[in-house]
């Protein structure tokens, strides 16, 4: 039989074990981002352009009939240049490289920015063909961010290129 002192000791120690578990299973609370801050997530996945050359009629004539594609396209995709400004200040500049062994895959970026809630001017520029000068896509808009809001900057050619949501 256990002595009373041993029972008391065991109860205290088992209790301490439970208390440690019960406490640190929920406490202290954790808040990742202050409550007056919003998040802008830049998340784009896009195939860069490639420079195709029109084949001349002579070239085409030399090819077997079933392979006479009018355009000669390389596999390799262009890098993508991306810029993001907040309230006129540059906050992000990058050049994305295509994935894949032959550089024929999509280029992707995922990045988040903590921004004070409120009204901001957000400008995003994207150039998906570095052989041609200038940005092919620009989105420049006054946005209002609620506290804790997550706003996504994405790209979809079917939705007119860059968009905020």
Buried b (16+ CB within 10 A) or exposed e, 95-112: ebebeeeebeeebebeee
Scanning residues 50 to 79, which ones bind other proteins (CB under 8 A)? none
Q: Closest Cα to residue 103, out of 82, 129, 75?
A: 75
Sign of the alpha-carbon dihedral angle for 151, 154, 157, 158: negative
Under the binding rule (CB under 8 A), the answer on residue 108 touching other proteins is yes
Q: Which stretch binds other proteins (CB under 8 A): 52-60, 88-96, 135-143, 150-158?
A: 150-158
Under the binding rule (CB under 8 A), the answer on residue 106 touching other proteins is yes
Under the binding rule (CB under 8 A), the answer on residue 99 touching other proteins is yes
Give bridge partners of residue 93 from the DSSP assignment. Answer: 83
Under the binding rule (CB under 8 A), the answer on residue 41 touching other proteins is yes
- Interaction mask 9-38, other proteins, x per CB under 8 A: xx--xxx-xx-xxx-xxxxxxxxxx-x-xx
Q: Give the number of residues written for the chain.
A: 165
- Rounded to a whole number of angstroms, the minimum distance from the CB of residue 94 to other proteins is 14
Q: Closest Cα to residue 38, out of 152, 155, 150?
A: 150
- Rounded to a whole number of angstroms, the minimum distance from the CB of residue 50 to other proteins is 19
Under the binding rule (CB under 8 A), the answer on residue 148 touching other proteins is yes
CA torsion angle for 142, 144, 150, 152 (degrees, to 10)? Answer: -20
Q: Which of 85, 86, 149, 161 binds other proteins (CB under 8 A)?
A: 149
Give bridge partners of residue 114 from the DSSP assignment. Answer: 39
Q: Which residues of the shown chain bind other proteins in the complex (CB under 8 A)?
A: 5-10, 13-15, 17-18, 20-22, 24-33, 35, 37-39, 41, 43, 45, 99-100, 105-106, 108-110, 148-150, 152, 154, 165
């Amino acid at each position: 039989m256990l002595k009373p002192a041993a029972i008391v000791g065991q109860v205290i120690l088992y209790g301490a074990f439970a208390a440690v578990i019960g406490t640190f299973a929920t406490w202290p609370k954790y808040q990742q981002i202050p409550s007056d801050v919003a998040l802008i997530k830049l998340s784009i996945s896009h195939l860069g352009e490639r420079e195709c050359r029109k084949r001349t009629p002579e070239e085409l004539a030399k090819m077997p009939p079933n392979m006479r594609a009018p355009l000669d396209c390389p596999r390799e995709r262009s890098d993508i240049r991306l810029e993001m400004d907040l309230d006129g200040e540059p906050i992000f500049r990058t050049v994305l490289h295509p994935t894949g062994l032959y550089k024929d895959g999509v280029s992707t970026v995922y990045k988040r920015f903590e921004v004070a809630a409120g009204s901001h001017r957000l400008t995003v520029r994207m150039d998906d063909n570095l052989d041609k000068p200038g940005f092919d896509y620009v989105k420049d808009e006054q946005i209002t961010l609620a506290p804790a809001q997550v706003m996504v900057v994405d790209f979809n050619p079917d939705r007119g290129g860059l968009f905020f949501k």
